[in-house]
Structure 1
Amino acid sequence: MFKKILAISLLITSISSSHATEGNFSITKFRAERDIKKVLTLTQRQQAIVKISALSALELTEALQQVVATSLEKKFIGQQDVVLILTQLTSYYGFPRAEKSIDALASSIDKHLSFTLPPDTSKARYKKGVEEYTKLDNNGYQTIITAFKPMSVGLTDTTYQLFGDAFGIPGLTIKERQLATISALAALGTARPQLQYHLGTSIQVGLTKAEIMDMVIYMQFLAGMPAAYNAALAAKEVFAAKSENPYTD
């Protein structure tokens, strides 16, 4: 009888401890997000773009599903916007990762939404890619060609063809596209040169330093302190150098 009572007591203690742990975690999470949102100046739409970009980059599909469902319900963002963000980010974290995110969102968005793409010729897609990339940086195309074309024509040609498809679809503003890009790159934590470059171009197309630092602050909640502080250091260098291009010698 004593052994039975002891076993029940241990079980109750175990359950209580588990619930306390879960409760403490939930409280900590609530406090962290509350504290961060108190200092953000980003709009709800911008916050949705940051979250979708970071969570898809990290392949956190369950969290991504929740964010997209809430953002669509509250009309912070539309289905087409979500697909455009993920399509654009294929240039920075690849198609398998984007496809995983789109498949996870099958209950929220129609992945077969129709968009107007450039004509399916290498020349047309390349031309559109150069046109869109030049909007970010007047010298960006020439810089990349100079840096990488001597090693591989195929690398630069296919890059701009992809840019033509991914960036040529109308819908998001250029500022929103850049916010998505820097959020994904910051979350990845493995693309410092590209993050620095796009932090610089983000300023050139109108994102403010305050908006960029808000993204960095939010990254602390979404991807962890190392990702946030690494992005902050990259931003600090870019702010000081006024968008130094890391692809140049």
Structure 2
Amino acid sequence: MKQIFRLLILFTVFGILPIMLWSQNIMNDTLTLNAKQKAVVAIAALTAKGDLPALKSSLSQGLESGLTVNQIKEVLIHIYAYAGFPRSIRGLQTFMTILDERKANGIVDIVGIDASPINEDSSKYNRGKQVLENLTGVTDNLSKTGYAAFAPTIEKFLKEHLFADIFERDILSYSERELATISVLSSIGEVEPMLYSHLNICLNVGLKPGQLHQFVGIINQIIGANESIVAQRVLDEVLKSKN
């Protein structure tokens, strides 16, 4: 009798557990981006692509979604690290035009908070190194390989500027910054290794597979099929590596 009882317990536990895991996976795959996140994707992608007429509409939609003026400015500033100053500045100039038009129409947009002061007790390099470890969940190895070994200067710039000066600013969350990053990388093309890395980071900072599939759909809609096909392929590779 005891043996039957144990078997029943085992059957219950191991029968229900796969169902629970399956349900969790389904939930992860059906989670969607909220309106603000969708706006971040569209603004970043269109700015990187240089499609300013479409960007004007997305900037207005971003404000209507609840993003503050400072949050949108921060997205546009963030983009320069991946697409360069010209694209970023044209995006900011386009945003200035939108704000002037909305003000002329009596629309008062919320400016929002500015970035908090950064604790500079540690060096920029060490702060950037810590931010990168937070993003990836991987401890930085002191031995450098690949481009970091070939050109140590750019590795220093990445730590001190990209991950310290930019990612440390708290106007945007890590997940919002990563959405902006993968949007830029998908739009400019030919940077699949970087896209792969940042899609991995997206999962590490809390974005779910379903949300990343939806991101690819937005790229398809506003940038084009070719870019979305590449993004989907890289995303599939990332998700496959997690199984």
Counterpart amino acid of 2:150? M
What RMSD, in angstroms, separates the aligned Cα atoms of the two structures? 2.8
1:149 is aligned to 148
Task: State the distance in 1 between where 2:139 and 2:43 align.
Answer: 26
1:6 is aligned to none
Counterpart amino acid of 1:193? P
Shift of the 149–90 alpha-carbon distance from structure 1 to 2, 3 Å rule, reads same
TM-score (norm 2): 0.74
Task: State the distance in 2 between where 1:114 and 1:44 align.
Answer: 22
1:239 is aligned to 239
Question: How far off its partner does 1:174 sit?
Answer: 1.5
Question: How far off its partner does 1:216 sit?
Answer: 0.3
1:124 is aligned to 123
Question: How far off its partner does 1:228 sit?
Answer: 0.7
Question: How far off its partner does 1:118 sit?
Answer: 4.6
Contact 2:196 2:235 in 1 (8 A): yes
Question: How far off its partner does 1:70 sit?
Answer: 3.0
Q: Which runs of 5+ in 1 are unaligned?
A: 1-38, 244-249
* Residues 84-103 of structure 1 mapped to structure 2, 5 A cutoff: 84-103=74-93
* Residues 1-249 of structure 1 mapped to structure 2, 5 A cutoff: 41-72=32-63, 74-108=64-98, 115-116=115-116, 118=118, 124-139=123-138, 141-142=140-141, 145-163=144-162, 164-242=164-242
1:27 is aligned to none
Task: State the distance in 1 between where 2:98 and 2:211 align.
Answer: 28
TM-score (norm 1): 0.72
Counterpart amino acid of 2:192? R
Shift of the 203–143 alpha-carbon distance from structure 1 to 2, 3 Å rule, reads farther
Shift of the 40–201 alpha-carbon distance from structure 1 to 2, 3 Å rule, reads closer
Paired residues, what number?
A: 202
Question: How far off its partner does 1:119 sit?
Answer: 7.6
Shift of the 87–141 alpha-carbon distance from structure 1 to 2, 3 Å rule, reads farther
Contact 2:59 2:98 in 1 (8 A): yes
Contact 1:196 1:235 in 2 (8 A): yes
Contact 1:178 1:198 in 2 (8 A): yes
Secondary structure of 1:106's counterpart equals helix
Contact 2:40 2:62 in 1 (8 A): no
1:170-204 deviation line (CA, Å, top 9, x unaligned):
12221111111111111222210000111111111
Task: State the distance in 2 between where 1:231 and 1:217 align.
Answer: 10
Counterpart amino acid of 1:98? S
Contact 1:81 1:171 in 2 (8 A): yes
Counterpart amino acid of 2:229? Y
Percent of matched pairs sharing the same residue? 24
1:134-167 deviation line (CA, Å, top 9, x unaligned):
1111337438943333222211111212221111
Shift of the 139–109 alpha-carbon distance from structure 1 to 2, 3 Å rule, reads farther
Contact 1:118 1:165 in 2 (8 A): no
Task: State the distance in 2 between where 1:143 and 1:235 align.
Answer: 29
Task: State the distance in 2 between where 1:219 and 1:235 align.
Answer: 13
Question: How far off its partner does 1:67 sit?
Answer: 1.3
Task: State the distance in 2 between where 1:144 and 1:60 align.
Answer: 41
Counterpart amino acid of 1:216? V
Task: State the distance in 2 between where 1:182 and 1:158 align.
Answer: 20
